[in-house]
Chains A and B, each alone.
Chain A
Amino acid sequence: SAVISQKPSRDICQRGTSLTIQCQVDSQVTMMFWYRQQPGQSLTLIATANQGSEATYESGFVIDKFPISRPNLTFSTLTVSNMSPEDSSIYLCSVEDKGGYEQYFGPGTRLTVT
């Protein structure tokens, strides 16, 4: 299994600012993903973080709003830009094991935008 840590665990931010969330994995993984979980809702995939190339975004999510970095096989960042209260959510990092069978989730970052 993979052990995933995220920083920060939670934050309260003002409208119009940006927050960068870090995701660190204890082993090298090919596939890393970023999810959003809005209050009372299930998970929605934001993008796949690709090492060495641009992230692949899902419909409804754009790079200008959610820029992603993936400098190596154990680390990724997600930035939530120009935040509004609608961005208040839990943001989760996830990785896939080498067999592509199991997916592990980080503890999440709880973001509140005021």
Chain B
Amino acid sequence: KNQVEQSPQSLIILEGKNCTLQCNYTVSPFSNLRWYKQDTGRGPVSLTIMTFSENTKSNGRYTATLDADTKQSSLHITASQLSDSASYICVASNNAGNMLTFGGGTRLMVKP
């Protein structure tokens, strides 16, 4: 069964600090790994997409890593801002894109 597990479920950090969110997946055959940011009351917005051959990808202050051997990914947020408060969802794809398995998300709160 395809599964994506994220940790922690929730996280509170102070503005300006860094944090790392974790994702473990069991999806086969694996195609790509995505991180989405979902603000409260909005739809998810893509942050990064990585195929099995990529092990790191950055989007501004967001850096995602992927270890296809251990089936683990992380999302590192640098110098957090209040606007980073959101849910971060890890999604694994097992074909061209329309077979997505969603993680439960990590709710991040950045406090001043």
Q: Report which A residues bind B (CB closer than 8 A).
A: 4, 31, 33, 41-45, 48, 92, 94, 96, 100-108, 110
- Contact size class for B? 10 to 19
Contact of B43 among A48, A96, A101, A108 (CB under 8 A): A108
For the complex, would chain A's binding face be called helix, strand, loop or mixed by DSSP majority? strand
9 shortest A-B CB distances, which residue pairs? A105-B43, A100-B96, A100-B97, A42-B102, A43-B102, A105-B44, A42-B104, A107-B43, A108-B43
A-B contact count (CB 8 A): 49
Q: Residues of B contacting A41 with CB < 8 Å?
A: 104
Q: Residues of B contacting A101 with CB < 8 Å?
A: 32, 49, 96-97
Residue in chain B with minimal CB distance to A31 = B98
Quote the shortest CB–CB distance from B59 to chain A (angstroms). 13
Q: Report which B residues bind A (CB closer than 8 A).
A: 32, 34, 36, 41-46, 49, 89, 96-98, 100, 102-105
18 A–B contacts, CB within 8 A, in A order: A4-B43, A42-B102, A42-B103, A42-B104, A43-B44, A48-B98, A100-B97, A101-B32, A102-B46, A103-B34, A103-B46, A105-B36, A105-B43, A105-B44, A106-B43, A107-B42, A108-B41, A108-B42
